[in-house]
């Protein structure tokens, strides 16, 4: 009397199907992981169909289906694997793993933005991002914003859509233009996100500027941009590069002398009595030329570096 070992046909068919799908992926760039994750419940259908097919096609009066240790082992693996896959799919873990396998890290340009400034705009207020912000001089009376990001995404379209969300927001109120840079938060390896983003801001030199940030920021400023009155406050690393013939006056209010750096000689002084702040203990002074451009820096944490070319 012929006996059928449950699971042998299902296992054989399953191996053939998986082999064909992987082979197709090699030649036609098919998303094999997506296919397998979508159609995995057919494994349970296959093993059930195998049992029914044997029972109804057997020529014996009382067909015997053999459930030995090996058969039970195969069935238990398939059943528990199916339940486990369903649980992981329902909780989003499988989707996250699938995305992580298919994703890659790529550079993406931040879309350029231009804001024309009429004669009525006298000041620009900047909300600095957590990432690096370069500030340079523009030859026209306009504000130009662009940059580059390093993005982890499944494809270039997804990467561009992510970068689009981190464009700067500009708004004019009276004689002031407000520029706000959204701060990026890395969501982790299992989700699409921006690993690093670097903004560049081009400003006309004939406007007052105020820079602040709600989190630690990094500023890289071209000294040629500073021809009016600037205020920088908050926590961050601030680097200013000036030419030898610069006309600039810098007042840096910092917690200690170790917070000042660069290849220039700072003039140090303690705040006057009654003006000292428990977090701001020292003032560094640097003057070049007549000091036509004025920068007042007040930081609670970070470093102020001035390098002279």
Domain edges within the chain: 3-101, 104-308
Q: Are 220 and 133 in contact (CB under 8 A)?
A: yes
Q: Are 76 and 70 in contact (CB under 8 A)?
A: no
Helix axes 8-28, 69-90, angle to 10 degrees: 50
Q: What is the pLDDT of residue 1?
A: 46
Q: Are 149 and 197 in contact (CB under 8 A)?
A: yes
Query: 10-residue block means of pLDDT along the chain (309 residues)?
Result: 56 67 58 60 70 65 58 67 65 64 86 93 94 92 94 90 90 95 77 89 95 92 94 94 86 88 86 56 86 90 92
Pairing of strands 193-203, 132-137: parallel
Tokens for 9, please give them: 């046909």
Catalogue the long-range contacts made by 219-227 (C-beta closer than 8 Å, 24 or more residues apart): 219/128, 219/133, 219/135, 220/132, 220/133, 220/134, 220/135, 221/134, 221/135, 222/134, 222/135, 222/136, 222/137, 223/248, 223/293, 224/137, 225/135, 225/136, 225/137, 226/293, 226/294, 226/295, 227/292, 227/293
Phi then psi for 225, rounded to 5 degrees? -70, -25
Q: Are 152 and 193 in contact (CB under 8 A)?
A: yes
């Amino acid at each position: 009397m012929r006996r059928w070992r449950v699971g042998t046909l299902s296992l054989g068919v399953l191996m053939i199907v998986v082999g064909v799908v992987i082979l197709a992926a090699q030649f036609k760039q098919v998303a094999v992981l997506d296919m397998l994750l979508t159609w995995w419940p057919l494994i349970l259908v296959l093993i059930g169909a195998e049992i029914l097919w044997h029972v109804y096609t057997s020529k014996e009066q009382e067909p015997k289906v053999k459930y030995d240790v090996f058969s039970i082992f195969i069935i238990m693996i398939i059943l528990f694997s199916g339940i486990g896959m369903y649980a992981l799919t329902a909780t989003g873990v499988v989707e996250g793993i699938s995305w992580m396998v298919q994703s890659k890290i790529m550079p993406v340009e931040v879309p350029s933005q231009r804001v024309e400034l009429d004669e009525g705009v006298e000041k620009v207020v900047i909300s600095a991002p957590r990432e690096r912000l370069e500030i340079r001089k523009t030859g026209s009376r306009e504000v130009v914003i662009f940059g580059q990001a390093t993005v982890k995404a499944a494809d270039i379209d997804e990467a561009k859509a992510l970068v689009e969300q981190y464009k700067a927001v500009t708004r004019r109120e009276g004689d002031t233009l407000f520029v706000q840079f959204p701060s990026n938060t890395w969501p982790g390896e299992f989700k699409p996100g921006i690993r690093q983003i670097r903004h560049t801001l081009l400003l006309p030199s004939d406007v007052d500027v105020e820079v602040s940030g709600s989190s630690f920021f990094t500023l890289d400023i071209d000294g040629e941009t500073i021809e009016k009155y600037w205020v920088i406050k908050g926590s961050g690393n601030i680097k200013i590069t000036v030419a030898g013939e610069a006309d600039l006056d810098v007042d840096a209010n910092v917690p200690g002398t170790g917070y000042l750096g660069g290849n220039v000689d700072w003039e140090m002084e303690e705040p006057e009595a009654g003006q000292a702040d428990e977090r701001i203990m020292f003032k560094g002074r640097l003057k070049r030329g007549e000091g036509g451009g004025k920068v007042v820096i007040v930081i609670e944490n970070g470093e102020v570096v001035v390098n002279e070319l």
